[in-house]
Amino acid sequence: MTIQVVATHPFSDQKPGTSGLRKKVTVFQTPHYLENFIQATFDTLESCQGQILVVGGDGRYFNQPAIQIILKMAAANGFSRVKVGQNGILSTPATSCLIRKYRTIGGIILSASHNPAGPGGDFGVKFNTSNGGPAPEKVTKAIYERTQAIETYKILDAADIDLGRLGETKLGTMVVEVIDSVTDYAQLLETLFDFDRIQQFIASGSFRFIFDAMHAVTGPYGRRIFEERLGAPAGTVQAGFPLEDFGGGHPDPNLVYAHDLVAQLFTDHGPDFGAASDGDGDRNMILGRNFFVTPSDSLAILAANATLVPGYRQGLAGIARSMPTSQAPDRVAQQLGIPAFETPTGWKFFGNLLDSGQATLCGEESFGTGSNHVREKDGLWAVLFWLNILAVRQQSVAEIVTQHWQTYGRNFYSRHDYEGVASDRANELMTQLQAKLPTLTGKTLGAGRVAYADDFSYQDPVDQSVSANQGIRIGFEDGSRIVFRLSGTGTEGATLRVYLERYEPNPQNHGLDAQVALQDLIGLADSLAQIKLLTGRDKPTVIT
């Protein structure tokens, strides 16, 4: 086994986005493409010598070939050990858990989250640092800079490792340790939730739930935790075996893409509770019978009920949400007398708040919820948190949510996405909107006066770094908001996201459909941003 030093040239498009480097599989299959990015990542570490790395992915097409390459490169670059999930499977939160538990220098997650998989689909590489969280911007910037100057990479000339067999194998001087994908992560969750109580609740027979793994990474996790450990009947976990093309689906847990689950919950005799996770297991969607819980409300409700759950019994230090997420969690924070933080979109922005102990729970409107137990959002964690609350309160999801609104008021909320818009059109839309901002404050638009109109800029309270241009916000005096952003995770054209929010204190009006309650703001968003005209679309592609 010899170390080869391979000559290469930079690729100009290796700048990581919201969640690592995401490209078509075919791009990653271009000779040297993956290798360059991995070497650039290793080069930004202080030293690889004697270090431990975690590697795994969501099981999508190209996961295993990519892992074989990474293992040989890790061996050539001096790592002493790589912990890799069996068959290459590790969910994103499980990877974060392993990095923290075994104090490794970091981990590499192979995933393009919910983006379609298969030979014609997407692939992605994300590096997480030693705190278990996605690399912060200064690291991803350094990686990108390195990709632009790279001339060689190192790889061991060796045979592939059997990723199906648990245990240790030598690759040169490095140890490859194939580990069970679920065990460490399941142990961590067991320290946070009252598994016995949930088990009894399920055994009582008065409560039925289903979990849709959407043929992606959470299948093995869901089967082990819900069915084997908590005793839920076989079949509780649906689409529970990971497939390389995710069964041709789009494993994004929302009302549009999780249609199979939605159809089962939106009937009068369906299960009491339904949940789904995404490709790499970090997102979650929560449903009751005939009831959808918005991710923003879900975060607020978990926070308000946190002391019912063993891991959070002592209370929360603070709650953090991304800027476009509704302000419902802020109202809970206010009542609890704890700080509420507003960060840009992207889980990485929560890292410093969690590390410094300022925030305990975090969440995003994009179906991400999590806490300081790892440094990623965590789909199964959110489902278990809900199960724990349901087991203690013995009420339906709808009752819990409507009671929450009665206490705190309801933040009507919806996101309208326009996917696959030509990039120049989307940029023009944002530019012309930006130009209007200085004229908006103080104006009456529709029924409300504009309190502020700006492009969101965030200063991290820990390292003082500033992230500018994080989305256009138009806020009204009554707390309503319209937010415009271009997605940072797409791989084709641009996705315009329009986030709409209106606060309603009066319980008499809480039963309204969100699209109806937000009608005026929806019209206003279109006239302000010229959405129909500039995108050429008469309606959004996805409404959540």
Q: Which residues bind Zn ion (CB under 5 A)?
A: 113, 278, 280, 282-283
18 binds ligand G6P (CB under 6 A): yes
d(C-alpha 489, C-alpha 379), whole Å: 18
Least Å from the CB of residue 407 to ligand G6P: 27
Q: How many residues bind ligand G6P (CB under 6 A)?
A: 14
488 binds ligand G6P (CB under 6 A): yes
Interior/surface letters 299-324, b for 16+ CB within 10 angstroms, e for the rest = bbbbbbbbebbebbeeebbbbbbbbb
Torsion angle of the four alpha carbons 445, 450, 456, 461, in this order, in degrees rounded to the nearest 10? -160
For ligand G6P, which is the closer residue by CB, 288 or 471?
A: 471
Applying CB under 6 A, which of residues 14, 63, 64, 113 lies at the interface with ligand G6P?
A: 113
Q: By the 8 A CB rule, do 178 and 160 touch?
A: no
Q: By the 8 A CB rule, do 327 and 480 touch?
A: no
Say which entry of Zn ion, ligand G6P, none residue 18 contacts (CB below 5 to 8 A, set by partner kind). Answer: ligand G6P
418 binds ligand G6P (CB under 6 A): no
- Near ligand G6P by CB under 6 A, which window of 211-219, 379-387, 462-470, 482-490? 482-490
For Zn ion, which is the closer residue by CB, 276 or 534?
A: 276
Q: Which helix (H) or strand (E) holds 410?
A: strand 410-421
Restricted to residues 184-223, the positions that interact with ligand G6P (CB under 6 A) are none
Cα atoms in the 13 Å half-sphere on the side-chain side of 237: 25
- Residue 159's contacts (CB-CB under 8 Å, 6 or more residues apart) are none
Say which entry of Zn ion, ligand G6P, none residue 104 contacts (CB below 5 to 8 A, set by partner kind). Answer: none
- Near ligand G6P by CB under 6 A, which window of 2-10, 141-149, 364-372, 450-458? 364-372
For ligand G6P, which is the closer residue by CB, 113 or 238?
A: 113
Q: Coil, strand or helix: which one is 81?
A: strand
Q: Find the residue with minimal CB distance to ligand G6P.
A: 487
Say which entry of Zn ion, ligand G6P, none residue 347 contacts (CB below 5 to 8 A, set by partner kind). Answer: ligand G6P
Applying CB under 6 A, which of residues 497, 501, 518, 524 lies at the interface with ligand G6P?
A: 497
Q: Find the residue with minimal CB distance to Zn ion.
A: 113
Least Å from the CB of residue 283 to Zn ion: 5
Catalytic residue among 113, 322, 366, 414, which?
A: 113
Give the 3-state secondary structure of 285-324: EEEECCEEECHHHHHHHHHHCHHHCHHHCCCCCCEEEECC
Tokens of 390: 């349901």
Q: Is 120 left (phi over 0), alpha (psi -120 to 50) or beta?
A: alpha
487 binds ligand G6P (CB under 6 A): yes
Say which entry of Zn ion, ligand G6P, none residue 280 contacts (CB below 5 to 8 A, set by partner kind). Answer: Zn ion
Least Å from the CB of residue 440 to ligand G6P: 23
For ligand G6P, which is the closer residue by CB, 220 or 279?
A: 279
For ligand G6P, which is the closer residue by CB, 60 or 497?
A: 497
d(C-alpha 352, C-alpha 336), whole Å: 22
- Near ligand G6P by CB under 6 A, which window of 197-205, 487-495, 502-510, 536-544? 487-495
For ligand G6P, which is the closer residue by CB, 133 or 288?
A: 133
- Near ligand G6P by CB under 6 A, which window of 30-38, 158-166, 194-202, 481-489? 481-489
d(C-alpha 371, C-alpha 360), whole Å: 5
Residues paired with residue 154 on neighbouring β-strands, in sequence order: 5
Give the 3-state secondary structure of 374-402: CCCCCHHHHHHHHHHHHHHHCCCHHHHHH
Residue 113 known to be catalytic: yes
Nearest to 369 by CA among 417, 325, 414: 325
For ligand G6P, which is the closer residue by CB, 96 or 480?
A: 96
**Overall size of the chain counted in residues:** 544
How many helices (H) and strands (E) in the chain? 18, 27
d(C-alpha 123, C-alpha 184), whole Å: 26
Measured in whole angstroms, the distance separating CA 74 from the mean position of its chain's CA atoms is 27
For ligand G6P, which is the closer residue by CB, 362 or 450?
A: 362
Say which entry of Zn ion, ligand G6P, none residue 368 contacts (CB below 5 to 8 A, set by partner kind). Answer: ligand G6P
**What is the x/- site pattern for ligand G6P, positions 316-335, by CB under 6 A?**
------x-------------
Tokens of 341: 């933080």
Query: Which residues of this protein are in contact with ligand G6P, per CB under 6 A?
Result: 18-19, 113, 322, 345-347, 364, 366, 368, 487-489, 497
Cite the active site residues. Answer: 113
